[in-house]
Structure 1
């Protein structure tokens, strides 16, 4: 049986280290859809070491089952691979290493045993925390070497386990252990021993997977045989359809957002709004895909021009600077999605307005906005100002705009009132002017 071998890895074992053990194609940690896409390439085998756990949908059991039903051997170890191998061992997925064996036996059960915080791909998946399985293996070795006693080992395992996996690092474990009354003599001995004695069980198991796979390949791997019938459910077809839109090695959500960037957004208090907007963008692109919409060069150019005008990126230098600061590497993909979003916004404009009241109810704004709108109607009607003119407001047009933007909104008057009107749901500047005049007259009358 000939064909490529794909290995999904990242923080546990670098691609460079892996290539020294096995001639294979090394890919980033597996996300939902990645094993499906790899299967389409008809490999001999797939090895899963690392995979995403939280913000990106995890590799799905069913895509592994499908890969094996297509005659592909699937191996797992060390991290996400060990979890999936333990869960699917009965169906033929092959697990390798001590971590897999602990999950299969039931000695370990929690995902956080192998979960770690790590940097981005550009940062080489630099580890920012320690895996609990590595803590256990290291403390076992420390006890075996006489560095710590059984009681200290037990206390430190408990302390480490109680930490959130992103906070699980040796300095924190040692500090917490001291607070738990672990003898300072043993803690200092462990601190001194750790640089040379630390056990990276995940890395050991990852290497064991590659060596096992190499040996099996040398022996000759016949196509995988399974005893189950693979069911093509609606959920499977949906995941498969979505996965087909991304290249092998991509993630289900496109690029993975760095955790540090998310922290900045959360601290600013903007996460909820940005997440909802991102969800709307996702659904718009999804709908365009479902309807088979394509974007040609003319449409891409038109979208780029609109985008540049709306964001004040009128010169080529401004646009290039925006691309650089916003890290837009695939401009064509960005503009294609932007075109889909704008098309869907137009297509569903009426439906969006129909759902707007419920959105405002969910945010708690509907009642106060409705009460203010009704009060404004009553006040203006009482003064005969339902359709006020500039003379009624006692200002010139320039003064009106300055009053509204500078005094009410605390910003400068926009360079393009027409663009501002469209961006904020007004049909044109005349409709915006009417609304601002009514607001001016209402404010003066209160």
Structure 2
């Protein structure tokens, strides 16, 4: 049994391992981290800290997916308390005072637990205060007689008005004094918090570790309704790293994307796989038989009428002018492949992995992914606001158009298995900076028979 704990500014790894010697401590959780875990029977997950703002926060569906697999997921203190309050009805377990404040609706905002902090090499040094912790410190000072109700109101008002990154006790007191709080009262409060330094988030983290140490790890209760598989969750699963290349985590989905962008002959591979998936025929089916079976499937679903000499009007949307003059069967097959879409119950990445795994093309694509990640990391250090997904659509279209030798890439995107422009931006944009800085050579992709 392995306990995976995601933490950072709230509590350090040494303190966690002191209470749970065999726990695996991870950085603050982010989108995709839970789906990348290789969990076994009896494993459990505890979320204390998580990132957001410049990095995608952990999605609710990711947590619910683990819960529905029977993995206990605990939360406390920060992102963990917030997600536990939102998902306790699905079986996530919340611990601590901050979780109770969220679950009871006393506090509701995401920024109640948000803080500005350093990176891992700086020990996640905290540089601002969580609003919920400030509220509790102010309330404690009022209950003990240091503050009256008016002083509490002014301090809370000042704290709420600040952005999470600016929320320090000194700034809060300064703003409250500007709003009418007596400066002597403000200084007394500052002295109290410096002297006592009661950290509500850290206290809740220790309470969570106490519960985990008591081995309270029974499987979570199943929710009354199971969350259905969605295209989003399926894509997140496929985005989880499966290998490290030159120290860079690489997913099958990113590798597939590299093959789609840079592989010559990928269109033929995509066509073969789509027709195979539509028909359910074996991989070694004769090309003519595969094409004929796909057309019969289209007829059975009412997409093509009994008279196959006439191309249905609806298929014209997926074809350009010259393609509409192709023989009707060939034009119909082309339209079927282009209109194919990823769906929760349709395998797309897996057949490509099966077809390319172990080939030089797949290895080459994995290396390109690693190069792209390193390139983007370097560019981000040179320009902190850099993000390849901010590249304009027109520039992305011009880029792939040049690579593929087409003036208008709309149909070329579909022929290579992209869902369209938005899909190119989400998956393909990460490769554009690399291809500009260090042009990527195309490589052959085994295309099969069709």
Normalized against structure 1, the TM-score is what? 0.58
Structure 1 position 99 matched with structure 2 position 98: yes
Aligned residues, how many? 296
> Contact 1:70/1:224 (CA < 8 Å) preserved in 2?
no
Residue in 2 that maps onto 1:226: 222
Residue in 1 that maps onto 2:140: 141
Classify 1:115/1:352 alpha carbon distance in 2 versus 1 (closer, same or farther; 3 Å). farther
> Contact 1:50/1:78 (CA < 8 Å) preserved in 2?
yes
> Contact 1:56/1:252 (CA < 8 Å) preserved in 2?
no
Q: In the aligned structure 1, how far is the partner of 2:249 from the partner of 2:169?
A: 33
SS in 1 for 2:127: coil
Per-residue Cα deviation, 1:72-121 (whole angstroms, up to 9, x for no partner): 11110111111110111111111001111111111111000000010001
Structure 1 position 349 matched with structure 2 position 395: no
Residue in 2 that maps onto 1:58: 57
Residue in 2 that maps onto 1:410: none
Per-residue Cα deviation, 1:251-297 (whole angstroms, up to 9, x for no partner): 9999xxxxxxxxxxxxxxxxxxxxxxxxx999768856967677689
Structure 1 position 188 matched with structure 2 position 187: yes
Q: CA deviation at 1:177?
A: 1.1
SS in 2 for 1:95: strand
Q: In the aligned structure 2, how far is the partner of 1:7 from the partner of 1:222?
A: 17
Residue in 2 that maps onto 1:21: 19
Structure 1 position 127 matched with structure 2 position 181: no
Q: In the aligned structure 2, how far is the partner of 1:133 from the partner of 1:196?
A: 19
Q: CA deviation at 1:229?
A: 2.7
Classify 1:299/1:21 alpha carbon distance in 2 versus 1 (closer, same or farther; 3 Å). closer
> Contact 2:242/2:250 (CA < 8 Å) preserved in 1?
no
Q: In the aligned structure 2, how far is the partner of 1:58 from the partner of 1:234?
A: 18
SS in 2 for 1:56: coil
Residue in 2 that maps onto 1:408: none
Structure 1 position 83 matched with structure 2 position 137: no
Classify 1:423/1:179 alpha carbon distance in 2 versus 1 (closer, same or farther; 3 Å). closer
Classify 1:251/1:134 alpha carbon distance in 2 versus 1 (closer, same or farther; 3 Å). farther
Per-residue Cα deviation, 1:346-391 (whole angstroms, up to 9, x for no partner): 78525785479xxxxxxxxxxxxxxxxxxxxxxxxxxxxxxxxxxx
Q: CA deviation at 1:223?
A: 3.4
Classify 1:177/1:284 alpha carbon distance in 2 versus 1 (closer, same or farther; 3 Å). farther
Classify 1:297/1:59 alpha carbon distance in 2 versus 1 (closer, same or farther; 3 Å). closer
Q: In the aligned structure 2, how far is the partner of 1:424 from the partner of 1:15?
A: 39
Of residues 236, 239, 243, the one that matches 1:242 is: 239
Q: In the aligned structure 2, how far is the partner of 1:423 from the partner of 1:287?
A: 16
* Aligned-residue RMSD, C-alpha: 4.2
Normalized against structure 2, the TM-score is what? 0.57
Query: Which consecutive unaligned segments of at least 5 residues does structure 1 have?
Result: 255-279, 312-322, 329-343, 357-421, 426-446
Residue in 1 that maps onto 2:177: 178
> Contact 1:6/1:47 (CA < 8 Å) preserved in 2?
yes
SS in 2 for 1:47: strand
Q: In the aligned structure 2, how far is the partner of 1:324 from the partner of 1:112?
A: 30
Classify 1:149/1:123 alpha carbon distance in 2 versus 1 (closer, same or farther; 3 Å). same
> Contact 1:142/1:197 (CA < 8 Å) preserved in 2?
no
Classify 1:298/1:253 alpha carbon distance in 2 versus 1 (closer, same or farther; 3 Å). closer
Q: In the aligned structure 1, how far is the partner of 2:400 from the partner of 2:167?
A: 48
Of residues 1, 4, 13, the one that matches 2:2 is: 4
Q: In the aligned structure 2, how far is the partner of 1:222 from the partner of 1:243?
A: 26
> Contact 1:29/1:50 (CA < 8 Å) preserved in 2?
yes
Q: In the aligned structure 2, how far is the partner of 1:92 from the partner of 1:124?
A: 32
Residue in 2 that maps onto 1:167: 166
Classify 1:355/1:296 alpha carbon distance in 2 versus 1 (closer, same or farther; 3 Å). closer
Larger radius of gyration: 1
Q: In the aligned structure 2, how far is the partner of 1:47 from the partner of 1:424?
A: 41
Q: In the aligned structure 2, how far is the partner of 1:253 from the partner of 1:168?
A: 37
Q: In the aligned structure 2, how far is the partner of 1:76 from the partner of 1:245?
A: 26
SS in 1 for 2:19: coil
Higher helix share: 1
